[in-house]
Chain A
Amino acid sequence: MGEVKLFFGPNHPGMHGNFSVHMYVEGDIVVKARPLPGFLHRGFEKLMERRLWYQNLALIPRICVPEPDINEACYAMAIEKIAKVEVPERAQWIRMIVLELARIANHLWSFGGIGGPTGMYTSMFWSVSDRDRVLDIFEELTGARIYHMYIIPGGVRKDFPPKLEEKILKLMDYLEQRMPEYETFILKNRILHTRLKGIAKIDTETCLKLGVTGIGLRATGVPYDIRKVDPYLFYDKVEFEIPTATEGDALARMSLKPKEIRQSIRIIRQALEKMPAGPVNTKISDGNGLRIRVPKGMAYARVESTRGEYGYLVVSNGEETPYRVAVRGASYPQGLYGVEHLLPGTRIDDVPIWLDTMGVCAPEIDR
């Protein structure tokens, strides 16, 4: 039997996200793969040009569902760069805590994601229930569980409610005692060893050539992290390490996630300790709070998301709406070029494993 064309996704139960891959397969080996995004295109960049600067805050978290806060942070930081506004110190610490909590939530979510293609449903039950505890904190802080709209240009929307810090510390203690269980579960689990070891391998040279950042690059042994290289907020004032692995396969990428959660817990504890009292937001421009005007200019702001470098290029021409906003989704290189050039040679059932462990998030490719 020769080549067979196979449409994999977007509604295949084993597919990761709203994404499709057209594959030519021989037996169960992929010979040629072509990524097909576009099932989720909502035209965010066009929508943003037709809304006020503040109205966009309700729109942008929808770009990336598992980790929405990075969008608000990038957008706000780009506007602050253009307007040359100093953000109050307390707001910067609060932003860091929110970003790290979002990071923990997304890493836990991706444990659940790996449960689908490997058939290990226990991981879903564990991680989703633990992620809910993080969402409870978000609910108390912002009133929403998923889309928080909390980080605004010039600071954050409001200060911590009373007793929230104690609750966060309690959650950190809980997650820390859960981490050894997760590590045992991933690194000493027969299912995952059989299904992930040596699968979806990528080496450092390919990563750097493609521009893959984040966990895909760190699993090849390169300790790159934007929080260290180009520190934003107060990441240069806290101590944390960058966990790396050398194998560069799916198991190495999965095993990094509990280690990254430990580092996030460390950052949150330091931030809560160092956070001073004071105001939490500042004015971007005079006049009506909703109809702010950002001075002319353009700026690019980037953060380290769980999937790599996530950035916003914001262009303003002095009007009430942005002139252009371009989003750099973190999974562009591995989700499009990587699928086309690195999947041939693997088996059909390893395609969702590539998409999950490399952190391909379809909404940020499609936008």
Chain B
Amino acid sequence: MTNSMNNNVAEILEKAKKLFDVRVEDIAERQHKLIAENDKTIPLLAFLKESGYSHLSILTCIDWIEEKRFELVYILFNWSNGVTLLVSTFIDRDKPVFYTVKDMWPTAEYYERDVHEFFGVEFEGNERCRLPLFLELWNDLPPLRKDFDPLKFSKEHFPDREYEKDAIHEAKIIRADLEDTRGDING
């Protein structure tokens, strides 16, 4: 973990560019984003894990609906030099299938279940990714997709209720314009 073989970030990024054909964007002083092709993402993650970036902070997904694709973001952290790498890859929005990384990071099993539940991305090799985690008995579009409309969903599932309380009448009672005819608490 800590015996990072190489703390030189520039060298790691150069190697990643050469070996995995990634595009690198600098976000901040100790934070870089690596954009990789689908087929090279898993080998790239394995390479980074071996190079000291062994802590997976989170795996999450972004829905770019206009470009019709999902972006999967793996956030890796190096405990020895405090550098964060965001490894991102784009997958098709209509057939969102990717490979699991749960063999590299056991906790990723739950992150993948989370992403599957909220975006509908399937992870090949994670046989439990279809199990419900937060949203039991959910039978609609995955809710964090941009085309999911919460208002429409709530109108369908929770019909409007009629309120019988007359607020103006109540206000008049409070203002003492009217006498309270509801009786006292014992009555």
Which residues of A does B touch, CB under 8 Å?
A: 37-38, 41, 43, 45-46, 50, 81-82, 208-211, 213, 224, 229-231, 297-300, 302, 309, 311, 313, 315, 323-324, 326, 328, 332-333, 336-337, 341, 366
B174 within 8 A of A: no
Residue of B nearest to A327 (CB): B58
Report the separation of the CA atoms of residues A243 and B58 in the bound assembly, to the nearest whole angstrom.
26
Interface flags for B1-31 (1: CB within 8 Å of A; 0: not) read 1000000000000000000000000011011
- B54 closest partner in A (C-beta): A208
Of all chain A residues, the one with the shortest Cβ separation from B62 is A324
Q: For the complex, is B96 an interface residue (Cβ under 8 Å from A)?
A: no
A46 to B73, CA, bound (A): 18
21 contacts across the A-B interface (CB closer than 8 A): A38-B133, A38-B136, A41-B134, A43-B143, A209-B106, A230-B30, A230-B83, A298-B27, A298-B73, A299-B31, A309-B57, A313-B73, A313-B75, A323-B62, A326-B58, A328-B58, A328-B75, A332-B110, A337-B109, A337-B110, A366-B134
From known contacts A211-B55, A300-B84, A309-B57, infer whether A324 and B31 are also in contact, taking CB-CB under 8 Å.
Answer: no
Q: In the complex, A60 Cα to B87 Cα: how many Å?
A: 26
- The A interface, classified by DSSP as helix, strand, loop or mixed, is mixed
Cβ-defined contact, A211 with B105, below 8 A: yes
- B79 at the binding interface (Cβ < 8 Å): yes
Once the chains are docked, how many angstroms separate the CA of A9 from the CA of B106?
A: 25
B42 CB to closest chain A CB (Å) equals: 18
Apart from A211-B56, A332-B111, what 10 extra A-B contacts exist at CB < 8 Å? Answer: A45-B118, A46-B143, A208-B55, A298-B62, A298-B86, A300-B75, A313-B73, A328-B58, A332-B58, A336-B110
Whether the Cβ atoms of A300 and B57 lie closer than 8 Å is yes
Q: A38-B135, A313-B58, A337-B107 are in contact. Are A297 and B27 (CB under 8 A)?
A: yes
**Nearest neighbor of B132 in chain A, beta-carbon distance:** A38
Asked, given contacts A230-B30, A298-B33, whether A332 binds B134 with beta carbons under 8 Å apart, the answer is no
Q: Which B residue's beta carbon lies closest to that of A38? A: B134
Say how far B79's CB is from chain A's closest CB, in angstroms: 6
B144 at the interface (CB under 8 A from A): yes
B51-95 vs A, CB cutoff 8 Å, 1 = contact: the mask equals 000111110101100000000010101011011101000000000
The residues of B that contact A43 with a CB separation of less than 8 Å are: 143, 150
Q: Are A37 and B79 in contact (CB under 8 A)?
A: no
**Distance (Å) between the CB of A343 and the closest chain B CB?**
15
- List the interface of chain B (C-beta within 8 A of A): 1, 27-28, 30-31, 33, 54-58, 60, 62-63, 73, 75, 77, 79-80, 82-84, 86, 105-107, 109-111, 118, 133-136, 143-144, 150
Question: Which of chain A's residues have a CB closer than 8 A to the CB of B84?
Answer: 230, 300, 302
Nearest chain B residue, comparing its CB with the CB of A309: B57
- CA distance in complex: A229, B79 (Å): 7
Given known A-B contacts A46-B143, A230-B84, A324-B63, A332 and B136 have beta carbons under 8 A apart: no
Residues from chain A with a CB closer than 8 A to the CB of B143 are 43, 46
CB distance from B81 to the nearest CB of A (A): 8
- Contact status B106-A208, CB under 8 Å: no
Contact partners of B109 in chain A: CB under 8 A: 337
Residue of B nearest to A230 (CB): B82
Are B58 and A224 in contact (CB-based, < 8 A)? Answer: no
Cα–Cα, bound, A58→B141 (Å):
28
Tell me the complex Cα distance, A209–B77, Å. Answer: 13
- Which of the residues B31, B55, B107 comes within 8 Å of A332, measured between beta carbons? B107
CA distance A309 to B75 in the complex (A): 12
How far is A302 from B30 in the complex, measured between Cα atoms in Å? 12
Determine the chain A residues whose CB is within 8 A of the CB of B28 once the complex forms.
Answer: 81, 299
Give Cα A333–Cα B102 distance, bound, in whole angstroms: 13
Residues of B within 8 Å of A332, CB to CB, are 58, 107, 110-111
Set of chain A residues within 8 Å of B30, measured between Cβ atoms:
230
A81's partner among B31, B73, B134 (CB-CB below 8 A) is: B31
Q: Does the CB pair B133–A224 fall under 8 Å?
A: no
With A298-B86, A332-B111 as known contacts, state yes or no: A224 contacts B134, CB within 8 Å: no
CB-based closest 7 A-B pairs: A230-B82, A326-B60, A328-B58, A38-B134, A336-B110, A229-B82, A333-B107
| Residue from B27, B62, B105 in contact with A299 in the complex, judged by beta carbons closer than 8 Å | B27
Scoring B30, B62, B63 by chain A CB atoms within 10 A of each residue's CB, the highest score goes to B62
Q: How far is the CB of B82 from chain A (nearest CB, A)?
A: 4
A323 to B60, CA, bound (A): 14
CB-CB < 8 A to A45: which residues of B?
Answer: 118, 144
